[in-house]
């Protein structure tokens, strides 16, 4: 499976693991330029661990209760030799020391259009704020919480009848697409961090994708 040229990716997850699954599914494609080297969970009963095992990928539970949790986590990741770490529903905040150990090598997916609605329950925060557009963001992790340079975002409308569940499902559909796409772009060397911003090279930018939200029809 390891062609020697593919970017090896470590995934940190805490729960359901549907974003992990999207990455596992992408990595099965022969022309996908990344492979999943290991899945690391802080919860022993995370569904993500089952998904990894089913895909034949090392599935490692690292007990967060013991001493030096992040050192043990980092050692496990380094043992599988990964060039990128993807947080996929990983619900612990990584310390500045951990982030500094893997400079510009840790990315995260978050269910809001950052910098709006960082932290927990991004979808609920968007509904409560009454915004008309929600979405998801893939970004580099820095020392802050959901503050790092933004790589890709996808936007969705918020509809009048939306609940947290319906909005989350609409956003999740895009999460499952922009996360594997981001990893592909990074693996192909097209993502360049420049301070607080990210430049993409070699990609065709569609300038006509805007929409009015909610998608109103004038009667
Ligand atoms: C996803 O919606 C992800 O964006 C979110 O948790 C969910 C995990 O689902 N992450 C955060 O809120 C991080 N702040 P998954 O386990 O099915 O991928």
pLDDT tens, 14-66?
999 999 999 999 999 999 999 999 999 999 999 999 999 999 999 999 999 98
- pTM, full prediction: 0.96
Same domain, 128 and 210: yes
**What Cα–Cα distance (Å) separates residue 112 from each residue in 125, 131, 175?**
9, 11, 10
Q: CATH number of the domain that 118 lies in?
A: 3.40.50.170
For residue 45, report the distance from its CA to the centre of ligand 1, in Å.
16
Identify the pLDDT of residue 2: 44
Give me the mean pLDDT over the 100-125 stretch: 98
Q: With a cut of 70, say whether residue 103 has pLDDT above it.
A: yes
Q: How many residues does the chain have?
A: 219
Give me the mean pLDDT over the 4-16 stretch: 94
Same domain, 219 and 114: yes
Residue ending a domain, among 103, 121, 146, is 103
Residue 4's pLDDT band (boundaries 50, 70, 90)? low
Same domain, 88 and 128: no
Q: Ligand 1: which of 19, 86, 93, 178 to mutate, most ligand atoms within 8 Å of CB?
A: 19
For 23, the domain range is 1-103
Same domain, 112 and 218: yes
Return d(Cα 64, Cα 13) in angstroms, integer: 13
- Identify the residues whose C-beta falls under 6 Å from ligand 1: 13, 15-19, 88-89, 109-111, 122, 172, 175
Same domain, 98 and 119: no
Ligand 1 atom closest to Cα of residue 171: 2
Catalogue the active-site residues. 110
Residue ending a domain, among 103, 126, 146, is 103
Query: Would you say 113 and 153 are in contact if contact means Cβ atoms under 8 Å apart?
Result: yes
Same domain, 90 and 119: no
Q: What are phi and psi of 67, to 5 degrees?
A: -80, 155
Same domain, 207 and 114: yes
The tens digit of pLDDT for each residue in 140-199 reads 999 999 999 999 999 999 999 999 999 999 999 999 999 999 999 999 999 999 999 999
Q: With a cut of 70, say whether residue 3 has pLDDT above it.
A: no
Ligand 1 atom closest to Cα of residue 136: 4
Same domain, 189 and 119: yes
Give me the mean pLDDT over the 113-135 stretch: 98
Residue ending a domain, among 103, 119, 148, is 103
For residue 9, report the distance from its CA to the centre of ligand 1, in Å.
18
Nearest to 137 by CA among 168, 109, 171, 157: 109
- Number of folded domains in the chain? 2
Same domain, 14 and 71: yes
Q: What are phi and psi of 10, to 5 degrees?
A: -100, 140
**Looking at the DSSP assignment, which residues form a beta bridge with residue 25?**
none
Same domain, 53 and 151: no
For residue 91, report the distance from its CA to the centre of ligand 1, in Å.
8
């Amino acid at each position: 499976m390891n062609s020697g040229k593919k970017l090896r990716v470590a995934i940190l997850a805490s729960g359901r693991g549907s974003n992990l699954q999207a990455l596992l599914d992408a990595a099965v494609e022969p022309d996908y330029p990344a492979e999943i080297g290991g899945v690391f969970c802080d919860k022993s009963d995370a569904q993500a661990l089952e998904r990894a095992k089913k895909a034949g990928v090392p599935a490692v539970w690292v007990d967060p209760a013991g001493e030096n949790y992040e050192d043990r986590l980092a050692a496990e990741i380094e043992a599988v030799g990964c060039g990128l770490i993807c947080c996929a529903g990983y619900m612990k905040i990584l310390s500045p020391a951990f982030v500094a150990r893997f400079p510009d090598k840790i990315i995260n997916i978050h269910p809001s259009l950052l910098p709006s609605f960082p932290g927990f329950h991004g979808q609920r925060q968007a509904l409560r704020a009454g915004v008309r557009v929600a979405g998801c963001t893939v970004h580099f992790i820095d020392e802050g919480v959901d503050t790092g340079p933004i790589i890709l975002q996808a936007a969705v409308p918020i509809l009048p009848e939306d609940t947290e569940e319906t909005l989350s499902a609409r956003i999740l559909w895009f999460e499952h697409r922009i996360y594997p796409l981001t990893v592909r772009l990074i693996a192909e060397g097209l993502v360049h961090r420049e301070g607080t911003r990210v430049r993409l090279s070699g990609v065709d930018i569609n300038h006509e994708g805007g929409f009015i939200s909610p998608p109103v029809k004038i009667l």
